[in-house]
A and B are shown apart, each in its own frame.
Chain A
Amino acid sequence: MAGLRIFVYAVIAIMLLPVLITFPVALTATSRISFPPTGLSLRWFDSILTDQVLLQSIARSFWLALTVAVLSIAIALPCAFAIQRGRVGYRNVLETLITSPRMIPQIVLVLALLVYFEPIRLAQKFAGLVIAHLVITIPFAFRTLLVSVATLDRRLEASSDVLGATPLQTFRLIVLPQLKTGMIASFIFTFILSFNNVTLALFLSGIGQRTLPVEMFTRMNVAGMTPVIPAISFVLSVLGVMLFVVLDRTIGVYRFLAARE
């Protein structure tokens, strides 16, 4: 067990290192990316707020992820109810179809969408990007929500019905509160999935319409990268870790992330 412990902590150190390294590198006073940094200043954290292109890409990513998260739940929740409660035939076929976008490599899926969108003029549009993201986030939202719907206590609904509540009242007062945890979990998870996605947006976002990850990718790959990229990276990591800790201490990350079967 002691040997295992040392191994695990070594792995953890390696897992944290690439993310933590962005902080000292962003503190440099020059515009070169190097470690140890030359001089100390917060100017690159400041310049996040003055870089208009970067700010616009942050806003675009935020709205995209929000739209995708809301729509994923709006589409996946009724579907989870129908599959769990309604006596639809071919339940296995339906479940396989709904979760199958996960099996297709994203680069193949996005190429298919690009060539399909081009003639119908959805290729470099926000709507096209939303649709592409929905295809990959819905399997995750569906899985999480299906588990929540399956664990609903039906006796409560029966009691509410007997006591004279209308179906709508029962849904709002009895069913929704029980689904709250699952809905929050799938909202946060689809939001993160969409906000962090690079491959889909790389093919589908138009010039001057880049999402934040694509903007970062482009600056790393093509144009000269200034330390503003490590700075925004560090900010994103801190936000990500905070969200994670909150999720794990409230809902339990393994419970909903591993909600596979």
Chain B
Amino acid sequence: MPRLGPQAISLALLVPILLLLILFFLFPLAYLLHLSALAQQPTLQNPFPRLSFVNYVKILQDYFYLSMSLNSVLVGLSTTFFTVAIAYPVAFYITRINGWERTLISVACLLPIFVNVIVSILGWYILLLPFGIIQQALAGLGIVSGPLQLLRTFPALVAVLVYEHLPFAVLILVSSLQAIPADKINAARVLGASVPRIVFSLIIPLTMPGLVACVILVFSLSASSYLAPILIGGQRTPVLPLAIFSYGTELQNWPLAAALSFVLLVLVVAVSFVFSSAMNHIAKRGQWEFV
């Protein structure tokens, strides 16, 4: 297309995507927000119930929902911490290699994107079963004896979530590590900087934007994850998505499910905001030497 010229054509090309996003993304979210502020479920007899914050009040006053929200945040934070701690060295290693070794490591680390999440959860489920492989291995090493409760525990849930979200962290970190100019590292080396100094005052500050993006993404995905909590964590570690699912589908209490969704959304946004502004604050104070 040599000349797309008139704005009219461009706007016409944008119509399908705008329609889709307005009708099936913005409107539904707005309707959900409205629903969360209704005193009761709209019915045929009473299609317009009065507006009130009764659902939010109920959530904020109930110890059960508060501990559920706290659980969600804790699950998200622990998952994010371990995911980044594992993904960073792996991503660094990936940028130093090429050829088939790179393909092999990439396949292994990005596997959860290409293989269904149900498949990997099933694999973990088999590994964690009572008298399953992990227990047999630990017993073989003489570390434990007797039955071991692994399924339905907080560490197991975090392990599965770390597994599930590692690929996203690796992807972001690889692309931000690759963007570091090699001559900066060489310059530091020539000037006699030690390896830890190169890592902490050069590589980590230079990849800070990627690191922040990675933390925000992994936190928001893991805190709002539903499948691993229901299949691995169970009711022992109740998190918000479990309640959203049961009120949204089985119990059909949509106003409460909607309010819980917005509580989850606010938590995710708040933690992301606090983290990224804290990082900005540190960067501005110049605790790191930005190059």
Interface residues of A in 1-49 (CB under 8 A from B): 1, 4-5, 7-8, 11-12, 14-22, 25, 33-35
B32 touches A115 (CB 8 A): yes
Instruction: Name the residue among B1, B110, B118, B249 with the largest chain A CB count within 10 angstroms.
Output: B118
B86 x A81 contact (CB < 8 A): no
| A107 x B261 contact (CB < 8 A) | yes
What residues on A are CB-neighbors of B141 within 8 Å? none
Whether B2 pairs with A12 at a CB distance below 8 angstroms is no
Min distance, Cβ A146 to any Cβ of chain B, angstroms: 12
A interface, CB within 8 angstroms of B: 1, 4-5, 7-8, 11-12, 14-22, 25, 33-35, 75-76, 78-79, 81-83, 85-88, 94, 97-98, 100-101, 103-109, 111-116, 131-132, 134-135, 138, 142, 157-158, 160-161, 167, 170-171, 175, 192, 195-196, 198-199, 202-203, 213, 216-217, 220-221, 229-230, 233, 236-237, 240-241, 243-245, 248-249, 253-254, 257-258, 260
The interface residues of chain A lying within 8 Å CB-to-CB of B230 are: 221
Q: Which of A15, A81, A98, A115 contacts B31 (CB 8 A)?
A: A115
Distance of A83 Cα from B11 Cα, bound (Å)? 9
**B233 interfacial contact with A, CB 8 Å:** no
A196 and B116 form a contact (CB under 8 A): yes
* CB neighbours of A115 from chain B (8 A): 28, 31-32, 35, 248, 254, 258
Q: Which 6 A-B pairs have the closest CB atoms?
A: A86-B10, A18-B123, A105-B224, A112-B28, A78-B13, A116-B28
Q: Is the CB of B127 within 8 A of A236?
A: no
Q: Known contacts A108-B264, A158-B2, A240-B114; is A75 also within 8 Å of B17 by CB?
A: yes
Instruction: Determine whether B244 belongs to the interface, using a CB cutoff of 8 Å to chain A.
Output: yes
A196 to B25, CA, bound (A): 21
B7 near A86 with CB under 8 A, answer: yes
Indicate the member of A5, A35, A257 with the most B CB atoms within 10 Å. Answer: A257
Number of chain B residues whose Cβ lies closer than 8 Å to a Cβ of chain A: 83
- Of B57-65, B87-95, B182-190, the stretch lying at the interface with chain A is B87-95
Most buried by A among B1, B257, B262: B1
Chain A contacts for B193, CB-based, 8 A: none
Known contacts A12-B108, A131-B24, A249-B103; A116 and B31 CB within 8 A of each other = yes
Contacts A202-B245, A220-B122 known; list 8 others, CB within 8 Å: A82-B4, A83-B14, A87-B7, A94-B14, A108-B32, A112-B31, A115-B28, A116-B24
A35-B133, A112-B32 are known contacts. Are A82 and B119 too (CB-CB below 8 A)? no
Q: Are A4 and B92 in contact (CB under 8 A)?
A: yes
The residue in chain A whose Cβ has the minimal distance to the Cβ of B32 is A112
Complex Cα distance A195/B245, Å?
21
* B114 and A98 within 8 A (CB): no
* Least distance between B15 CB and chain A CB atoms (Å): 9
For residue B286, give the distance in angstroms from its CB to the closest CB of chain A.
26
Asked if B16 is at the interface (CB within 8 A of a chain A CB), the reply is: yes
Residues of B within 8 A of A88 (CB): 7, 10-11, 14
Asked if B251 lies at the interface with its beta carbon under 8 angstroms from chain A, I say no
Q: A81-B4, A170-B1 are in contact. Are A11 and B109 (CB under 8 A)?
A: yes
Q: How far is the CB of A70 from chain B (nearest CB, A)?
A: 13
**Residues of chain A lying within 8 A (CB to CB) of residue B172:** 258, 260
Q: When the two chains form their complex, are residues A220 and B118 in contact, meaning their CB atoms are under 8 A apart?
A: yes
Interchain CB contact under 8 A, B126 and A21: yes
> With A79-B13, A220-B122 as given contacts, are A108 and B127 in contact (CB-CB < 8 Å)?
no
Contact, CB under 8 Å: B1 / A199: no
